[in-house]
Amino acid sequence: MTDLPPFLVALPLVASVVVLFAGLARSKTGWPIAALAGVAQLGLAGYLAYRVFTAGPISYVVGGFEAFYGIELVIDGLSASVVVLIAAVSLGILAYARTAGPRGNPFYATYLLLVGGLTGVAVTGDVFNMYVFIEISGLTAYALVASGDSGRSAVAALKYLIVGTVGASLYLLGVGYAYIGTGTLNMADLSAMLAEVGYQSTLVQTAFALFAIGLFIKTAVFPLHTWQPEAYAGSPDSVSGFVSALVSTTFAYALIRISLTVFTPDFFAAVDLAQTLLIVGAVVSIVAGSLLAVSQTEIKRMLAYSSVSQFGLVLAGLAVLNQTAMVGATVHLLGHAVMKGGLFLAAGLIATATGAREIHEYEGLSERMPYAAGAFAVLAFAMVGVPPTIGFVGKWYIAFGAVEAQLWPLAAIILASTLLTLAYFARLVERMYFREPAAADDHPEGEATGAQPDAMVADGGRPSLGMYAAVLVAAVLAVVLAPAVVPFEQLLDPTLDILLP
């Protein structure tokens, strides 16, 4: 059909190498090349998504082998959405990172490598190939987290690396079990062969458990989230925006892909325990993530725990196993990326301008930085699920799906999650808008950050236009995307008909 799919992965990878070598010749070449690659990637992703949505799924076998032996790339509606998301968000964050840093060609090379890895996870149709891409994404994510100057980011990255590797290894073990049972690694073949082996087989069930737990770790589902808050909080602002918006998102996509394409809803119908595993993971994540978020004092840690809770919601959408909830899970997956990415960038923007990184330092922020505070507030309310934002629409689909499936306790938790989310965002909004900035001597360290709007603190640099633009665009998107959901659902329908017959 088309030879373009491999370029989705190859383009960022090649660009990454180009950036690295260009850096040897001249420094400061990283950003333009990366931006160029990002634009090209977005165009390519957009074009392929257009093809997928108009003409149906695209499949491409790398190197001309037969699909059974060779590695197949499959782009359906779901993966096309994720690919476009990855391309768009990574480009947006590139705009932000230009002045926010970290700078230097190695950073941009790693950045592009991560984009390539994530895209690979999204388009591959082979479980082992997915493992390789998961590890590529993982490795580069660890490196990016460590790209901050502080020792803190190195420690965070190391923790992330060890826990993340365990997750990926469990996934690999799952691949092994599935391979022993069926002798194939291709997703489409696997799903047929697993059904032949029988869903009651211990081998198949163990394989699912390993896949699920491995990806739970990668997605940061409570209680396997331990790497995540430190990794988000310890990394540079642009990186935490990028990682929070895309990495967990892509791994959640992988979980959806494995659950629905490889194991299929029939598996869940046959094995109640599998669905229970997902539901319990979802509920525990939603509740515990929110409660932990409430108890944080550092903004980025709070946002990180919020992600734990929101991915619980996505997981809930998957666990319901009907089309409505799946639309919700997809919408929330994409919406969360925009909202949470935007929130992290806004937090970074505010920290760059005022040095405020703790919740109490946000007092009276609305007067010092009206636009940043406004964007933050809009994104926060979108996250809470105030209509008519994207956060509301996703939640509505998931909740309605849960009601359709008559999973009442899950539906109740999903609805209650609104209030839980409100609990940690409302106090921030209140501080930003309805409190006077604290006097300088209120700070235990005696920092005069609160009182001086233009103080340049550790991160250095005035917020640039690109930083503002990225944050404001995210805020606008959080609202504007909501009406686009219905057409999007129609585009997604054929894919879902295949995934969830």
Q: Which residues lie near other proteins (CB under 8 A)? A: 128, 131-132, 135, 138-139, 142-143, 146, 150-152, 154-155, 157-158, 161-162, 165-166, 169, 172-173, 176, 179-180, 185, 202-203, 381, 384, 386-388, 392-393, 396-397, 399-400, 403-404, 411-412, 415-416, 418-419, 422, 426-427, 430, 433-436, 483, 485-486, 489
Q: Please, are residues 489 and 400 in contact by the beta-carbon 8 Å criterion?
A: no
The Cα 237–Cα 460 span in angstroms is 12
Where does residue 468 rank: exposed (0-12), middle (13-18), buried (19+ CB within 10 A)? buried
Q: How far is CA 401 from CA 77, 213, 351, 406, in A?
A: 20, 24, 39, 8
DSSP 128-186: HHHHHHHHHHHHHHHHHHTTSSSHHHHHHHHHHHHHHHHHHHHHHHHHHHHHHHHS--B
| Identity of the residue numbered 344 | F
Q: How many CB atoms lie within 10 A of CB 460?
A: 10
| Closest approach of other proteins to the CB of residue 400, in Å | 5
Cα(224)–Cα(227) distance, integer angstroms: 8
Q: How far is CA 283 from CA 155, 179, 292, 313, 359, in A?
A: 30, 31, 14, 8, 27
Q: Which is nearer to other proteins, 422 or 474 (CB)?
A: 422
Least distance (Å) from other proteins to the CB of residue 487? 9
Shortest distance (Å) from residue 235 CB to other proteins: 13
Residue with tokens 């006077």: 436
Instruction: For other proteins, give the closer residue by CB, 104 or 466.
Output: 104
Instruction: Give min distance, CB of 340 to other proteins, in A.
Output: 20
428 to 334, 359, 396: CA distances (angstroms): 24, 7, 25
Q: Which amino acid is at 80?
A: A
CA distances from 254 to 34, 80, 135, 177, 289 (A): 26, 13, 13, 18, 21
* Residue number with CB closer to other proteins (161 or 379): 161
Q: Rounded to the nearest whole angstrom, what is the least distance from the CB of residue 344 to other proteins in the complex?
A: 22
CB of 295 to other proteins, least distance (A): 14
Q: Of 98, 99, 90, 113, which is closest to residue 19 (Cα–Cα)? A: 113
- Give the residue with the Cβ less far from other proteins, 147 or 249: 147
Our CB check for other proteins shows the closer of 21 and 408 to be: 408
Least separation in angstroms between CB 387 and other proteins? 4
Nearer of residues 179 and 466 to other proteins, judged by Cβ: 179
Task: Give the residue with the Cβ less far from other proteins, 4 or 197.
Answer: 197
CB-nearer residue toward other proteins: 139 or 313: 139
Closest CB to other proteins among 252 and 399? Answer: 399
Closest separation between CB of residue 391 and other proteins, Å?
Answer: 11
- Residue 126 is given by DSSP the state B
Q: For residue 103, with 0-12 CB atoms within 10 Å meaning exposed, 13-18 middle and 19 or more buried, which class applies?
A: middle
Our CB check for other proteins shows the closer of 158 and 188 to be 158
Query: Going along 28-143, which residue ranges are E strands?
Result: 58-61, 72-75
Q: State the Cα–Cα distance between residues 499 and 57, nearest whole angstrom.
A: 12
Beta strand 72-75 with 58-61: parallel, antiparallel or unpaired?
A: antiparallel
Q: Bridge partners of 61?
A: 72
242 vs 381, which CB is nearer to other proteins?
381
* Dist CA 187 CA 359 (whole Å): 45
Minimum separation from the CB atom of position 95 to other proteins (A): 26
The residue among 89 and 380 lying less far from other proteins, judged by its C-beta, is 380
Smallest distance, Å, CB 39 to other proteins? Answer: 29
Q: What residues contact 273, with CB distance under 8 A and at least 6 apart?
A: 205
Q: How far is the CB of 98 from other proteins (least distance, A)?
A: 25
C-beta of 327: minimal distance to other proteins in Å?
9
